[in-house]
Amino acid sequence: MSEFVLSDEYLENIERQFKGWAEFLNSIIGILAFTLALASLGTKLPWLSAVLSLVIVTVVRGRGSHFFPSEIDRLRKAAKTDPKADVILTGLTKRHQSSSVMILKYPIFLIGILFLMSVAASPVLVIAFPILGKFYGF
């Protein structure tokens, strides 16, 4: 018999965990990535600075993995053998990690990461869109 029961308390616990995850991504990773992207634009090689900054952001994100909802990790393990855990995991993933939810719940994170990635990819972007050369300092 499955140990997973959808109760109000269970769902509230998961909601709290995802709220903490969203706060970490927006308040720490998003702001850090945005700040590093702006700082990278002020260097002689913005793309290289942005690539190095992505490494830093990745390390910080890894160090903050304890903010990720532990219940999702537990469900992922259980879903391999427990169909009820699989259904709950699928619903929670759709509710908290779909593309549209990412835009609504993690906007600062997305803006920061996308900005930093665009600076890192600027040599390629300038080839495709020459007008961006002035923005990236080329």
pTM for the whole structure: 0.83
The answer on pLDDT for 1 being more than 70 is no
Q: Is 64 exposed, middle or buried (0-12, 13-18, 19+ CB in 10 A)?
A: middle
Distance CA 111, CA 76 (A): 28
Q: Mean pLDDT in the chain?
A: 91
The answer on pLDDT for 2 being more than 80 is no
92 backbone dihedrals φ, ψ, rounded to 5°: -65, -40
Contact 90, 16 (CB under 8 A): no
Structure tokens at 82: 């427990």
Specify the 3-state DSSP secondary structure of 113: helix
